[in-house]
């Protein structure tokens, strides 16, 4: 039986960009998973908004097709019940013209009765965040509501400051949820649990014991249907200043006063304030061969599809420890991996391998913790070798895990902001990246199926990339 405290009040969920790629790949499937898990309100309506003129029935059928493609399948849950609560409001939504959205919201309020909470979800490009926020204010839909902004929250320091101003003219900070779905992953949350709850690691999490931290999110996929979005962002905005910086904050945070949500969020934002601004010597960017052949991409595009960065955390705990961050499209393998490389034991045993101990967190799927150890190889001779052991997460427990988007959507529904980014941390993120964003490096071509430009190997020296080497 689901804990009643986890069931939110009746809700009208407005999905801006409701016919877009993000809504159909991630948001709507995540919403359906909550329906299957019994974690949606007892009564709710989802009103998708877009510029087109789509009937409720056609939108419902589009959602059914989406679930058939991306899952969970409609047959796996209460599809007919969910279908009956889906609506579409066409005509866009602007300060000067609300389209049909206000009519649909008023109709939903009458159907639900009482005082349903209103949630705005911005599944739209960052350039639309400001105008939509102003329209919400103009049409009186802000008071008492919650708003979810997808990443990136701005595209530079200047646009971040302007968007933050617009948002806080309409909403109180307590109403705002800036989503970074990597923070919603079960394995990400296990980083701080494993570190702070296990004496094996709590005293060794510093520059005396750790030689390097690597955060690696290579992808084998190309930009595919996201070409227009990707051309306007690139790997730096799409991944580095969002997911990878937040993961670095998870690894590097100081011990919080407690493991309550606000304590963890404050610890993460505080250490992000210690990140040293990147310079061009700290960054290698690349573009996979054939990127400009994709429909909609200019022949002379200088958008990077790969970025590797060497970052430093300027505090006593991490002085001298490089944080190596890497992500890209069309690479050799797909991973979402955090690797903590420990220093060699001193003195080394004769014949000891040079790899040392590596603690790895695989964040994809249900997640996995892996530990590389030096051991004696079987046999009559004293030969030392390396072996890896892994602990799959999400197995061995009676409680199933929720995918990141479903977890974060549920947190919005019940009002838990602990896994969402805050403006103080985001402001410093933009300071860290501002130098390379103002004068973006020229991308180096790299072959599909490779590990990116060879210059990234030099960037990591004297270390090596744990993945792909």
Active site residue 410: no
CA–CA dist 327, 239 (Å, integer): 7
CB 335, CB 218: distance < 8 Å:
yes
CB 178 within 8 A of CB 188: no
Own/partner contacts of 220-225, CB < 8 Å, gap of 24 or more, are: 220/330, 220/331, 220/332, 220/333, 220/334, 220/449, 221/329, 221/330, 221/334, 222/288, 222/290, 222/291, 222/294, 222/329, 222/330, 222/448, 223/291, 223/294, 223/297, 223/305, 223/329, 225/21
For tokens 């949500």, the residue is: 261
Burial string for 31-47 (b: 16+ CB within 10 Å, else e) reads bbbbbeeebbbeebbbb
| Residue 270 CB neighbour total at 10 angstroms | 18
Residue among 335, 301, 244, 281 at smallest CA distance from 445: 301
CB 12 within 8 Å of CB 112: yes
Transcribe 294-340 into DSSP letters.
STT--TT----SEEEEEE-B-STTTTT--EEEEEESSBS----EEEE
State the catalytic residue, choosing from 24, 120, 181, 243: 243
Q: Which residues are catalytic?
A: 243
């Amino acid at each position: 039986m689901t804990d009643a405290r986890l069931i939110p009040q009746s809700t009208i969920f407005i999905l801006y960009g409701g016919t877009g790629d993000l809504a159909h790949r991630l948001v709507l499937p995540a919403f359906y998973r909550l329906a299957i898990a019994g974690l949606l309100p007892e009564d709710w309506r989802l009103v998708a908004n877009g510029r087109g003129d789509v009937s409720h029935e056609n939108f419902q059928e589009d959602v059914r097709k989406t679930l058939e493609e991306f899952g969970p399948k409609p047959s796996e849950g209460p599809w007919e019940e969910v279908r009956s609560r889906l609506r579409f409001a066409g005509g866009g939504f602007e300060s000067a013209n609300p389209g049909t959205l206000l009519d649909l919201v008023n109709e939903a309020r009458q159907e639900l009765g009482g005082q349903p909470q209103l949630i705005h979800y911005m599944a739209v490009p960052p350039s639309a965040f400001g105008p939509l926020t102003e329209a919400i204010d103009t049409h009186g839909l802000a008071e008492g509501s919650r708003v979810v902004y997808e990443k990136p929250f701005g595209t530079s320091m200047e646009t971040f400051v302007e968007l933050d101003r617009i948002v806080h003219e309409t909403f109180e900070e307590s109403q705002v949820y800036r989503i970074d779905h990597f923070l919603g992953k079960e394995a990400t949350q296990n980083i701080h649990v494993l570190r702070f709850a296990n004496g094996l690691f709590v005293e060794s999490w510093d520059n005396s014991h750790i030689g390097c931290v690597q955060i690696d999110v290579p992808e084998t996929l190309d930009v595919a249907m996201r070409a227009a979005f990707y051309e306007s962002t690139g790997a730096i905005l799409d991944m580095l200043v969002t997911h990878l910086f937040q993961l670095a904050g998870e690894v590097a945070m100081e011990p919080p006063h407690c493991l309550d949500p606000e304590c963890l969020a404050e610890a993460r934002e505080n250490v992000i304030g210690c990140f040293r601004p990147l310079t061009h010597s700290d960054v290698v960017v690349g573009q996979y061969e054939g990127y400009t052949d994709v429909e909609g991409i200019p022949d002379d595009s200088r958008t990077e599809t790969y970025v590797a960065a060497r970052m430093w955390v300027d505090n006593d705990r991490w002085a001298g420890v490089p944080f190596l961050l890497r992500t890209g499209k069309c690479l050799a393998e797909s991973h979402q991996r955090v690797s903590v490389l420990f220093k060699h034991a001193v003195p080394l045993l004769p014949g000891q391998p040079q790899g040392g101990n590596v603690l790895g967190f695989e964040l994809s799927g249900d997640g996995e913790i892996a530990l590389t150890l030096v051991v004696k190889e079987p046999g009559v001779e004293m030969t030392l070798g390396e072996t890896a052991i892994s602990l799959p997460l999400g197995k061995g427990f009676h409680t199933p895990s929720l995918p990141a988007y479903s977890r974060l959507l549920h947190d919005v529904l019940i009002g838990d902001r602990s896994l969402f980014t805050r403006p103080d941390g985001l402001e410093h993120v933009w300071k860290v990246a501002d130098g390379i964003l103002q004068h973006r490096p020229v991308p180096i071509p790299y072959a599909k199926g490779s590990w990116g430009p060879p210059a990234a190997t030099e960037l990591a020296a004297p270390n090596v990339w744990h993945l792909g080497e």
